[in-house]
Structure 1
Amino acid sequence: MIQLMVGLLRRSSAYRLMHCAEGIAMPNYRITLDGHGERLSGEVITRDGEVIGSWRTDENDLDDFYQFIPDGEQEPTIQSYNLGMFCFDIEEWHEGRQQPDHATPA
């Protein structure tokens, strides 16, 4: 039962928002959207200081649409209207890239 509750908490918007800093480096955040709140685009930086791509949004204050473009790519990989979900999806994408590929025999 406790594991189920923890799983539900991790999927909540409040939990996701705890993992995305808006333009400032915070030790509890996994990524930072550099310049968020000041500009319409910026770099996405990990807790370790690695720039993994860029983010951008539109000028519509009522309905912000966020896009993440990984370094070396031209088109967005992740898109969302929800800032918390956007950050969470970037984190999962980044963690997936960190995992070793077990499908290829050594």
Structure 2
Amino acid sequence: MTNNNIKFDAKVNGLGTATITIGELAIDLATAGNRKTGGITGYPITTNLVDQNEWCTIEIQQSGSTVVLLNGIKIIDGEAPTIQGDSIHIDVQDIELLIRRFFVANLKDSSNE
């Protein structure tokens, strides 16, 4: 089984939205609207967990299911599209998005072989 992990720090300023698409998975970043920071494809976050101008750490772990951690706290655990792919797309609408420390890992678990 392969474990796919992505971890990055992000900060938003403004009332718009930003979406980072990695592989087939979209990650939401916003403090206003219907899809707030930490939500992913199929699992929107509707409560504001992070304020504007505040750094947060988002971590996506995929190994069977998809786990999303926001500042180290699990906020989503379920089935979601894969983060495997060869592209990262960032869409920004009426918001400033800052990203730092972006880590990607693709680890093969050999304990089941």
TM-score by length of 2: 0.30
User: Radius of gyration: which is bigger?
Assistant: 1
Determine which structure has greater relative contact order: mean sequence separation of CA pairs < 8 Å that are 6+ residues apart, divided by chain length.
2
- Higher-helix-fraction structure: 1
TM-score by length of 1: 0.31
- Higher-strand-fraction structure: 2
